[in-house]
Structure 1
C-alpha cells in the first residue's frame, strides 16, 4: 500500500480542524452563557482584567478563554497593548442574539448529540428509531433558538412574498397552519406581521407546544394563535389558505400522508410552503461544511425520528428538490416550484 503524503496531510488537517472546532464550540457556548461576548460588544479593546470585571468572571480563566478565541479567529488581539477586541462582524456572529448569523445557540444541539451518542450508536447498530421526544433536552431549545434567527431575517421579507398570491391573503385575513411548529417562533413571526390573520401551530412534542404557548403570550399574539398537540396527518381541517412545514417534513416517517392531509385541509386555492434544508440532488454536490452539518444531524435526528415512526420514507435533511417534489406529486399536488433559495434553506411553493 502506497500512501500519498499530500492526501494524508490534507485529511489530517481536516480532522484537526474538526477537533479544534469541537473544543472551540464548548468555549463559544460558555462565552455566550457567561455574557463575555456581550461584555465585549462595542467596548473597543479590553484587557483580560477589564473584561473579567465587566462580566463578573475570574481574570485568569478569562485570559485563557480570550486566547482560545484569538486562536480560533473569533476575537481580535492587539499585541502592542495586549488587549482584545470584538469587531462588529464578530459581534454579529457571537454577541447579537437577533442577528441572522448568531451561532452560539447551535452548540446546544451539538451538546445534545454527544449526550445521546449511545442512543445513536445503538440505533445505527440495530436499525431502531429515536423519536424526537427521546433526545436530550438541549436539542429542543438549541434548534428553536438557532432556527429562529434565520426565520426572523427571511420569513416575512423574503419567503412569504416569493409564494404565489399569499401575502395579499395574509394582509386581508387568512387561516394559516404551521405543522411541526416546535417552540412556535415561525408561527409567532407570521402573527406579528399579519394581525388580521389567525394561525394554528401543531406539533407532536407536548413540551414544545407548552413552550410555544408561553412564547406567544410573551410576544403579545396569543389572541390570534392556537397551539395544539397533533400529528401531521390528523390536525383539524379548516380550509387553510397556507400550510407551512418549517424544516419538518423531512423528519416525518410518512411525509406523503402529511401532504395528503394538507391537501384535504387546504382551501381550494391554498398554498403549501415547504421550508427544507438546502441540498442538491446528488451526494457529490453536497460536499462541504453545510452538507457535513446536515448529513450528520440527519443521521442522529432526522432519519432516526422518521424510522421511529416506521416510515415508508426516510428522506433525511439532504433530501433535495427532486425527491421532495416526487413525494408532493405522489401526494396529489400538481405544482412544485422552488420559490427561494439561500445557503441554508430551500423554499418550495406547492399547489394543487
Structure 2
C-alpha cells in the first residue's frame, strides 16, 4: 500500500485534533460543575490561586488549566505563569446568561457515550431508541444548549418576526408549546406576555415533571403530558415547536394536528436546526455538530415512534416546507435565523 503523505498528514492532524477535543470535552463539564471557568472569569490567577478559590486540589487544577490552554479555551501568560479568560472565552464558558454560552452542549456528550452500546445495536437491528431511553444527562444538556439562544432571540426577535402574533400575545392569546421538554421556551413566553395563556406539551413524563418544578409560579402557564399528534385543546392563536419536529415519528401528523387545533387565523411557529437543502450545503462546522447529534439522538428517537419518518436534524427548509404543506398549511416562510436555528412561520 502506497500512501500519499500530502493527504495523510492533514488527515492525521485532524484525527489528533479530534482525539484531543473528545477527551477535553469531559474536562469542560468538570470545569463547569466545579466553577473553575466562573472563578477564572474574575481575573487572572495561578493554578494554586484558582484551586484555593474553588476548593479544589491544585495538582488537578494545574493539569486541567494546561489542557484548556492547549485547546484555546483559556489564556496562558508564559511570563507571569498565570491563566485567564478573555471576554470571548468568558462569554462561551463562564457567563450563564451569555447568548453564546456553549457549556450545555458538552453535557449531552456524556449521554452520547453512555448510550453508545444501545446505538450500536440499533444500527444492526434498525430499531429506534426512545427519547426516554437515553441517559438522563441528555435532557439537561439539550436544555442548557438551546436555552441561551432562546433567551437571546425568542421574545425580542423571533416572535416579532411573525405576522401580527406579538399584538395578539399582548392582548391575551392562547398558546400551545408542543415538544416543550424542560419548558424553557414556554416559561420565557409566559413571563413576557402575562395576559396570554400558555400550555407546554411533551410526551416525556420526566421532562414534564421537571418543567412543572421550574414553572416559577406563573399563573398563566401549565405543563401537560401529551403527544404532538393528539394534544388537547382547540382555537389556539399560536402553536410552537422548538427544535422538536424533526425528532417526531410522524411530523406530518404533528403539523396536521396543529393545523386542526389552531384558530382560522392562527400561526404555527417552527424552530428547527439551521440547515441547507442538501448534504453539500451542510458540510460545515454547524452541520457537522447537527449530523452527529442527529445520528445519536434525532433519527433513533423518530424511528422509535409510529411512522418513523426520521427527518433528521438537517432536513432543510425545502423538506420542512413539504411537511408543512402535507400537514394542511397553505403558506410558510422563513422569518428569522441564527447560526444554529431557522424560524419558520406557517399560516392556514
Q: TM-score, with normalisation over the residues of structure 1?
A: 0.97
Query: Could you report, residue by residue, the CA deviation over 1:146-199 in whole angstroms, capped at 9, with x for unpaired residues?
Result: 111110011111111111111100111000000000000000000111111000
Which of 200, 225, 238 is residue 229 of structure 1 equivalent to? 225
Answer yes or no: is 1:289 the counterpart of 2:285: yes
Q: Is the 8 A contact 2:248 2:308 kept in 1?
A: no
Which of 299, 302, 308 is residue 303 of structure 1 equivalent to? 299
- CA shift, 1:4, in A, is 2.7
Q: Which runs of 5+ in 1 are unaligned?
A: none
Corresponding residue number in structure 2 for 1:80: 79
Corresponding residue number in structure 1 for 2:128: 129
- CA shift, 1:312, in A, is 4.9
Which of 250, 267, 271 is residue 275 of structure 1 equivalent to? 271
Query: Could you report, residue by residue, the CA deviation over 1:285-338 in whole angstroms, capped at 9, with x for unpaired residues?
Result: 111221111111111211111111132521000000000000110111111100
Corresponding residue number in structure 2 for 1:147: 146
Answer yes or no: is 1:220 the counterpart of 2:241: no
Q: 1-side partners of 2:2 and 2:187: how far apart? A: 58
Q: 1-side partners of 2:231 and 2:9: how far apart? A: 54
Q: 1-side partners of 2:217 and 2:285: how far apart? A: 38
Alignment of 1:48-197 (within 5 A): 48-197=47-196
Q: 1-side partners of 2:73 and 2:184: how far apart? A: 28
Q: Is the 8 A contact 1:237 1:266 kept in 2?
A: no
Q: 1-side partners of 2:288 and 2:4: how far apart? A: 24
- CA shift, 1:270, in A, is 0.5
**Once structures 1 and 2 are overlaid, which stretch shifts more, 14-23 or 25-34?**
14-23
Q: Which runs of 5+ in 2 are unaligned?
A: none
Q: Is the 8 A contact 2:103 2:144 kept in 1?
A: no
Corresponding residue number in structure 2 for 1:205: 204
Q: Is the 8 A contact 1:131 1:308 kept in 2?
A: yes
Corresponding residue number in structure 2 for 1:16: 16
Which of 261, 284, 290 is residue 265 of structure 1 equivalent to? 261
Question: CA RMSD for the aligned pairs?
Answer: 1.1
- Aligned length, in residue pairs: 348
Q: 2-side partners of 1:39 and 1:10: how far apart? A: 37
Corresponding residue number in structure 1 for 2:312: 316
Corresponding residue number in structure 2 for 1:7: 7
Corresponding residue number in structure 2 for 1:340: 336
Q: Is the 8 A contact 1:42 1:88 kept in 2?
A: no
Q: 2-side partners of 1:241 and 1:324: how far apart? A: 21
Q: 2-side partners of 1:203 and 1:13: how far apart? A: 43
Q: Is the 8 A contact 2:250 2:308 kept in 1?
A: yes
Q: Is the 8 A contact 1:252 1:311 kept in 2?
A: no
- CA shift, 1:18, in A, is 1.4
